[in-house]
Each structure stands twice: as C-alpha cells, then as structure tokens.
Amino acid sequence: MKLYRPAEVRDLLPLPLYAERVPCGFPSPAQDYIEKRIDLNDLMVQHPSATYFLRVSGDSMIEAGICEGDMIVVDCSLRAKHGDIIVAALDGEFTIKQLRLHPSVLLVPANSKHSPIPINTPEALEVFGVVTYVIKSTH
C-alpha cells in the first residue's frame, strides 16, 4: 500500500453548496439559490500539514461503508481513540481497521468474513492516522 504521494498543486475550484438539503425519501420543492461556494479541502481537511489521502483496497471495512477503490482522508494529528477507524501498521503491514482499546486492544474489521486482530505487543502497532472522511465514486 502506498502511504502518501503528494499530488500536483492545481488551482482551487470552489464548488457550489446549496442551502436546501435534499431528502432521500419523497421529493420536495427545490430552492433556486446557492448558499455559498465551498472548497472540499476546507470541508475535509482540518489540519493540512497532517492530512493525507489514500486509495482503499480490499473488503475488510465494507460494513463501515469503506469499499475497494474508495479514497479516505486521514488526519495523523488526531490521537486515535476507542472506536476510531485508523490507518495502522502491524509488524510492517499496513491496514485500515477500527481501533478497540478495551477490554483489550484489537484491530477490528467491518466485515464478518474477517477476524479481529489482537494486539499482544503494543510496540508491534504503529498508528498512522485517523480516518476522518470517505470519498466514494458512484460510477
């Protein structure tokens, strides 16, 4: 897994953010005005110097909505806590799992086909950041 490869710097393109929320149920009358323009970096990146993006491979987190080919936003300035989804290295192997700290330390997949990974020696686990957003493609 490639951990980080800086992208080329391009001009920022603020995108429209509409004031009205769109329900997933029955349609409602649309609002015809834009509340403001947003930059997705402003929305998803709280700590620019500590944030990176990764493309996901594998199926161990599908029940958490993280699927093959998705992109995740990872903030390495955040302290990982119980229940966070993290990017970690365990004995040199990179993985994305949910961190469980009690009653014992585990890396827990979000796929019933995979087993939790017990962390018996804390020095074998290195946390590379907390997943803050998942970017999905519908095509």
- Which among 69, 66, 68 is positioned nearest to 131, based on CA atoms? 66
Active site residue 81: no
Asked about 137 being catalytic, the answer comes back as no
Kindly name the residue from 28, 97, 112, 113 that is annotated as catalytic. 97
Distance CA 58, CA 77 (A): 25
For residue 72, report the phi and psi dihedrals to the nearest 5 degrees.
-115, 150
Q: Is the Cα dihedral 55, 60, 64, 68 positive or negative? A: positive
CB atoms < 10 A from the CB of 68, how many?
11
> Considering 36, 57, 60, 112, which one is annotated as catalytic?
60
- The DSSP secondary-structure symbol of 42 reads H
Please list the active-site residues.
60, 97
